[in-house]
A = this chain, B = another copy of it.
Amino acid sequence: MKLSEFELIEKVKGLFGKKEGRVELSVGDDAAVLRCGELYQMLTCDALTEGSHYLKRWKERVEGFYRKLGKKLINVNASDVASMGGEPKFSLITACFTKESSEEEAQEFFRGVKEAAEELGVSVVGGDTVKGKGELFDCFMVGESSEGYMVRSSARPGELVGITGTVGDARGGLEILLKGMEVNDYLVNRFLCPTARVREGREAVKLGVKCATDISDGLVFNLHTIAQSSKVAVEVESEKIPLSKELIEVFGKERALHFALYGGEDYELIITFPESLKGKIERIGFKVIGRVREGEGIFVDGKPISPKGFDHFKED
């Protein structure tokens, strides 16, 4: 299939929509949102597949590899909920194993799921195990918020852009695994064991922040989803983009910045917010990296920059 994931989503998006009065938000953001009495419920699913998201041979180089995949699966989905301002609560797991999968790998995977779920306070309430031609781990996550939710489409000109953590690390970790470089535990773990920014998302929504997304497909790409859906332009100052010292040490400043802009799977949060909230937002742990203005597109240090994210369908 030559279609990219995003093109395919565009094609099929028209097939579905919000039909039920209680569906506040359907296909097209990090999670769908339902009304359930006083609560907003966020529903999301995200899968990890052998070949696209990981290579089986990496387990020779990374201790507890399948445990980490289990933890990643939960955190990736919790991150979608976090980026809407919700608290991840309930989850179901579909695990597809192959003839080559071992019982130990399966058990390790579920151990990782359990650990991450406990850390986040998520109840794993069901799932399905199947056999197929390639390993695949899918997670459905239900999140909740009684304080509203954040979307990609509500950035307003004049707002500041805030980000959690450091970016590019996951892409650095991936590069190490792909190229067979010496393992740097910090970077590889940032790729294999991201941490969903649940606290930060919850505190932002409680402060009244309206616009957020997570960095699953690269900083520029995900800023682009905000800019496009909000019909605004976003300006970023490259020197303000938070980079880890490990990333710079291993890859040098220039590549580190490239990874930060175009690498995916950091699962940090990006928000936009009114300048009046700056102090409070910084105290939550966000760093200001830019500003929203009228217009369209993404600008880094004043230069327009094209969105180029991580796309599963275009890897080979």
Contact = CB atoms under 8 A, between A and B. Distances in A.
A105 B46 CA distance: 21
A106 B130 CA distance: 21
Contacts of A111: 15
Contacts of A238: none
A99 interface: yes
Interface stretch (A136-144, A190-198, A241-249): A136-144
Interface in A104-152: 106-107, 110-111, 113-114, 117, 123-136, 138, 140, 142
B16 A125 contact: yes
A115 B312 CA distance: 27
A31 B313 contact: no
Interface string A11-53: 1100111111001011100011010111101011111011111
A62 interface: no
List the number of copies, as a whole number.
Answer: 2
Given A20-B123, A133-B133, A101 B1 contact: yes
Determine the interface band of chain A, counting residues with CB < 8 A from chain B.
35 or more
Interface stretch (A87-95, A202-210, A266-274): A87-95
A23 B123 contact: yes
Contact of A99 (B1, B3, B123): B1
A259 interface: no
Contacts of A11: 107
B132 A90 contact: no
B43 A92 contact: yes
B26 A125 contact: yes
A132 B46 contact: no
Contacts of A27: 124-127
Contact of A133 (B26, B51, B89, B113): B51
A43 B106 contact: no
A93 to B, nearest CB: 8
A234 B105 CA distance: 38
Contacts of A276: none
Nearest to A113: B15
Nearest to A80: B126
Given A12-B107, A23-B90, A110-B12, A131 B51 contact: yes
Interface of A: 1-3, 5, 8-9, 11-12, 15-20, 23, 25-27, 31-32, 34, 36-39, 41, 43-47, 49-53, 89-90, 92-94, 96-99, 101-103, 106-107, 110-111, 113-114, 117, 123-136, 138, 140, 142, 312-313, 315-316
